[in-house]
Structure 1
Amino acid sequence: MKRANHVVRIAVAAAIAAVGGAAQAQSNVTIYGSLDAGVAHVSDIGGASVNRVDQGTMQPDRFGFRGTEDLGGGMKALFHLEGGFFTDTGNQTNANRLFNRLSIVGLSGSFGTVTLGNMPDIVFDYAGKVSNGFQLTNWYLFHPGNLDSLANTSQFNNAVRYTSPTYNGLTGSAMVGFGEQPGDSKKGRNVSAGANYANGPLKLVLAYSRLNDRAAGYAGTYLGSLGLGNATTVFNRMTTWAVGGGYTVGDWRLNTVYTQVKVDLPALSFKQKNLDLGAAWKYGEKSTLNMGYTHSEQGDAKWNQGSLSNVYAFSKRTEFYVQGAFQKASGAAKFAIQNGTGVSSDRSQWVTTIGVHHLF
């Protein structure tokens, strides 16, 4: 009898362990991150050249946690937390927000995906992925002031987003960030929508965003170079349209995106237009050559930029890169101002970087 009871206890314990293992297998959590730093030379910032260590030029420095739980019936719970930092100093990109890049919780199923929290807009999520800055892995190639949000420097707070299931390669998304101002539902409210089509080697995107009462923040340096404001300036409205696409053929990957941003300031309005053309050639098992051209204009002010870089992959997680970009201002634009470099004292500026990027 004792032996029989012992066998029963073992069987029960094994069953409990099996159930616990199955339950554990239904959930997963991933910890990930990206560190990137390189030695950069900028030809002209305020009249002088500078050598420095720049961070996140291939990919933004970040760390994060993401996970899902299988709820049964094809439904899953999900979360995603992501914070940015600077590899060269160890500081957070936003000292007041640990997970400043992304902080969401949601549900997904046959109905699509619903997420709530702090997240970037759909212009970044869809159009940003076919820009030169993303496809050619070069932070300097995002547009002056990042007014079109193709780089993730501004997010929607208090946001709700819906993304549809994918039908024949087509996915749609819409989101709203509530301003949460009693008596004025429009103040601080942000909306965004878009569509993404992916079928084999072809990808096409269309996206829209409208932001109310956004502080200039990161774009303040760009506004200052034009005498239009600074980091404390608040935009009444920012309206962005973006369309673009990508195509892969053989060892080549091609990309293009066009954005138009209308900015309404308290005393004036202006439009910024940007066009990217890019190509990446994988000419060896571990080597990729990236080439790009960008044209930006705001009224009579114009900027033309060319870029070239080479990336060597030691492994799937570690890369060595050499990159360069040159920008020439013309028309009413008196200063070159590449993304993240600082304002030149004249109409030309070039920047070169040699660095290492690692994913974990």
Structure 2
Amino acid sequence: MRRRLVVIAVLGALSSPAFSQSSVTLYGILDAGLNYTVGSQKAIVNGRPVGAGNQLALNDGAFGMFGSRWGLKGTEDLGSGLKAIFTLENGFSMSSGAFAQGGAEFGRQAFVGLDSPYGRLTLGRQYDPHLDIVAPFSAAWQFAGYIATHAADVDNLLSTRRLNNSIKYTMPKFHGVNAEALYSVGGVAGSVSRNQAWSLAVGYDGGPFQFGAGYLTINNPNVSFYGANPNGTGVTGNNLGSLGSATSPANNPAYAGFASANRYNLAGVGASYTYGSATAGVIYTNVRYTGLGDVATSGPNPLGYSGTAAINTVELNLRYFFTPTILVGVMGSLTRVGSVGGHDGASYRQFGGGAHYFLSKATELYALVMYEHATGVDSTGRAAVAAISGLTPSSTSSQTAVRVGIVHRF
């Protein structure tokens, strides 16, 4: 009898945490649609791009409004205002079912932490503060999706890349002000600074006026940022993109040539003002690939670059709700890649718009159109070609893309 009482007491002690309030939520976004691209590149032959003509393709949300995903969010009330929290979020392709983010099981987000009245502290694979606070002012977030990002999302405004091994603090909002700080541990023995990153951002939400500013710096970005997915090639490969070949097109030609950078620095500011049903926004970002030529710890440098490559972007956007179920937006942006390697750099001008029809709170139909025109010499050392984000670059200086799609949230 005594042995039975001991067993019951032990089981009761082990099961006591079950009485605390906890919850787990399953959520997700499904985004699929058709893309029609006017002007696609087939390969690079004798140093010049060869055209493949127009293209019609069924693409998942990674090239549309949202990346398709499913995830789990959990919280446990620990008492005295303290909560344990976690998020596991998987990205995948709607058209093939394959894992996104280079094959990572929870490649979008994977973190655990504590939430309290004094702020939230989380550890794992996370978004950087610049993205959290500055990116929402862009047209890509507001109505236009991935094709509206700047030069293959060089400023990471649509979360193309995440930071592994990161520690993040989010302060409670105070009189409309919010702020975040993040540090990503490099994890390299004998070199604390190698592959490390840190970021700071602050925002303000004062009714109709909103503002955000942020900064992100990453050491050895070819490995620690662009190569942070399971399919990353490390120092030996170019994770920023591809210069193309006789059998394949270029990839991210605006900055693919800067894989040897020792450091990636990003600074950005954004603001918006809402008047009635209309919201006007502006955003500016400055990206600097510094210490070009660091082939020992960063990546390849086939063009022999040295020094710094700077990329500046300014964007204006406007969105308007004609009715609670109909949203229309327009945008324009200019991205300028500065001179490097003896040439004068390149410019990319984008103009586009989008329309959304909300069938319900969970489901919407949308249509997007984007036009880009390029001039100058890009990072591959060739005449710049238009390269709308997420699509195969053009073989000429111009490219147009149209997408129609459907989004469902759960």
The TM-score with structure 1 as length reference comes to 0.89
- In the superposition, relative to structure 1, how do residues 162 and 336 fare at CA in structure 2: closer, same or farther (>3 Å)? same
Aligned to 2:72: 65
Contact 1:133 1:140 in 2 (8 A): yes
Match runs of 1:183-332 below 5 Å: 183-215=190-222, 216=226, 219-221=240-242, 225=253, 229=257, 233-264=259-290, 265-266=292-293, 267-268=305-306, 269-299=308-338, 300-332=345-377
The DSSP-based 3-state class of the residue aligned with 1:274 is: strand
Aligned to 2:27: 32
Q: 2-side partners of 1:170 and 1:162: how far apart?
A: 15
Deviation readout 1:272-318 (Å, 9 max, x if unpaired): 11112111110023111111111111024111111111110100111
Give unmatched runs, 5+ long, in structure 2.
Answer: 1-11, 42-50, 228-238, 243-249, 294-304, 339-344, 379-383
Contact 1:203 1:246 in 2 (8 A): yes
Contact 1:147 1:219 in 2 (8 A): no
Aligned to 1:11: none
Q: CA deviation at 1:228?
A: 5.1
Q: 1-side partners of 2:29 and 2:133: how far apart?
A: 21
Q: CA deviation at 1:235?
A: 3.3
Q: CA deviation at 1:332?
A: 3.5
Cα RMSD (Å) = 2.2
Please tell me the residue identity of whatever aligns with 2:22: S
Please tell me the residue identity of whatever aligns with 1:345: S
Deviation readout 1:92-114 (Å, 9 max, x if unpaired): 11354211111111111122111
Structure 2 residue 369 is the aligned partner of structure 1 residue 341: no
Whichever structure has more strand as a proportion of its residues is 1
Please tell me the residue identity of whatever aligns with 1:70: D
Q: 2-side partners of 1:52 and 1:245: how far apart?
A: 35
- In the superposition, relative to structure 1, how do residues 116 and 305 fare at CA in structure 2: closer, same or farther (>3 Å)? same
Runs of 4+ in 1 over 6 A off after TM superposition: none
The DSSP-based 3-state class of the residue aligned with 1:340 is: coil
Deviation readout 1:323-345 (Å, 9 max, x if unpaired): 10101112345200111012111
Q: 1-side partners of 2:241 and 2:320: how far apart?
A: 35
Q: Percent identity?
A: 29
The TM-score with structure 2 as length reference comes to 0.79
Aligned to 2:84: 77
- In the superposition, relative to structure 1, how do residues 32 and 137 fare at CA in structure 2: closer, same or farther (>3 Å)? farther
Contact 2:144 2:353 in 1 (8 A): no
Q: 2-side partners of 1:329 and 1:209: how far apart?
A: 27
Give unmatched runs, 5+ long, in structure 1.
Answer: 1-15
Q: 2-side partners of 1:235 and 1:120: how far apart?
A: 22
Please tell me the residue identity of whatever aligns with 2:276: G
Structure 2 residue 128 is the aligned partner of structure 1 residue 121: yes
The DSSP-based 3-state class of the residue aligned with 2:261 is: strand
Contact 1:259 1:273 in 2 (8 A): yes
Contact 1:175 1:193 in 2 (8 A): yes
Deviation readout 1:155-192 (Å, 9 max, x if unpaired): 11111011112211111111100001111111000110
- In the superposition, relative to structure 1, how do residues 210 and 223 fare at CA in structure 2: closer, same or farther (>3 Å)? farther
Aligned to 2:138: 131
- In the superposition, relative to structure 1, how do residues 280 and 156 fare at CA in structure 2: closer, same or farther (>3 Å)? same
Q: 1-side partners of 2:95 and 2:251: how far apart?
A: 26
Please tell me the residue identity of whatever aligns with 2:257: G
Aligned to 1:6: none
Structure 2 residue 55 is the aligned partner of structure 1 residue 50: yes
